[in-house]
Amino acid sequence: MGNVHPEGECVGKEILTLTSLLLGSAKMMCEVMPTISEDTALSQRGSQSSASDPDSHFEQLMVNMLDERDRLLDTLRETQESLGLAQQHLQDVIYDRDSLQRQLSSALPQPCVFLSSSVRSLHQRSRPRYSS
């Protein structure tokens, strides 16, 4: 890790606070945010005067944080779209299952229908239930 500004710990806490405020209470599975390298910010400053060092360092940290926020929001949107497609597919499969079950029930003699529904009921009760 590069040299840490005496107020670096305070700035780091402010950035974490800003990050949590910007991301809000969005429910998502996200990757751990990579650390923002202070060495990169120091090397990019070049020959700027020492008076603007804290400002440019903070500005670079903010730019990096906003870029990371944008990347996470894109990932969130993609994940939400994927979830929507999966939920629609699940609804389609449930509809197909119910339709096939009705066809099977109408094609089987009544004793077989009763046995089939009993087996299905026992099977559903024997499966472990997981809460989402």
- Contact call for residues 9 and 59 (beta carbons, < 8 A): no
Name every residue whose Cβ is closer than 8 Å to that of residue 79 and which is 6 or more positions away in sequence. 28, 29
123 has pLDDT over 60: yes
pLDDT band at 54 (very low <50, low <70, confident <90, very high): confident
User: For 46-70, what is the mean pLDDT?
Assistant: 81
Give the pLDDT confidence of 74-114 residue by residue, as tens digits: 999 999 999 999 999 999 999 999 999 899 878 877 777 77
Q: Tell me how far apart the alpha carbons of residues 117 and 112 are, in angstroms, rounded to a whole number.
A: 8
3-class secondary-structure state, position 20: helix
To the nearest 5 percent, what fractions of the chain are helix, strand and coil?
Answer: 75, 0, 25
| Measured distance between the N- and C-terminal CA atoms of the chain, rounded to whole angstroms | 40
Q: Residues 19, 21, 26, CA angle at the centre, nearest 5°?
A: 95
Average pLDDT of the chain? 73
